[in-house]
Amino acid sequence: MAIKEGDFVKLSFTARLDTGEVIDTTDEELARKEGIYSEGGRYGDITIIIGAGHIVKGLEEDIIGKEPGYSGSIEVPPEKAFGERNPDLVEAISITKFRERPEIGQSVRIGNRTGIVEKVIGRRAIVDFNHPLAGKKIKYDYEIREVIEDPEEKAGAILLLITGVEGDVTISDSTVTFKIPQDAVMREWYILGKQRVAEEIFRRLENITEVQFLESFKEEKKEEENKEIGETKTGENES
């Protein structure tokens, strides 16, 4: 069945500049080899929703109409990748806006924008707020693994896409329940993303009228308490 807008698609990909430089990949081994491996990154096949903007427009358009199992390549022009470079987004910013004196090549955040410091001239820094890949053609080699049909898998994909959290999912009648790992409960993206997760599930999954987030906390004994218990038992054995 041909892929269409709204489908949940699992795929793998590698993105390169026209120089051949790898800039992104779902392949952990390749990421390590190319020196772009991220310790906190998630590797392996990814699930995206076609039409939701989870990947660049040019790649998304190429996937539509293809069948699961397809593999191929597409060269995406800047306007359908990360946009054309806009010279108006290169600005002179007073160094008083920075906590510390900025340095060339440093990534900085001003308000809600992130940019790269190009120059520091006197008391002003020249900051480029364009996307680092703006103006560049990107070649994608990709494979469509499958189209997800299972509602629980779809719900899990929505949670992961929006919050970065993987949770156990169950669907009973018209209710989706997520069991959230304890170490994820206080993550900012999870806290801020729960409402959006629910809204997206109501939009994408039929007959769902309620979304529950099950958060549980288990008491953890302090290391010092465990050490004291161990010392007490050792003393008893010696006597």
The CATH 3.10.50.40 domain(s) of the chain lie at 1-83+134-148
Specify burial of residue 120 (Cβ count, 10 A radius: 0-12, 13-18, 19+).
Answer: middle
Strand 46-49 versus strand 71-76 pairing type: unpaired
Does residue 238 carry a pLDDT above 60? no
205 residue type, one letter: L
Task: Please state the pTM of the whole predicted model.
Answer: 0.82
Indicate the Cα dihedral angle 193, 211, 144, 41, nearest 10°: 40
> What's the average model confidence in pLDDT over 89-113?
92
User: What is the topology classification, in CATH, of domain 1-83+134-148?
Assistant: Chitinase A; domain 3 (3.10.50)
The confidence score (pLDDT) of residue 239 equals 46
Is domain 150-219 classified as CATH 3.30.70.2210?
A: yes
Does residue 90 carry a pLDDT above 50? yes
22 bridge partner residues:
16
How many percent of the chain have pLDDT more than 70? 92
Is domain 87-128 classified as CATH 2.40.10?
A: yes
The CATH 3.30.70.2210 domain(s) of the chain lie at 150-219
> What's the average model confidence in pLDDT over 41-46?
93
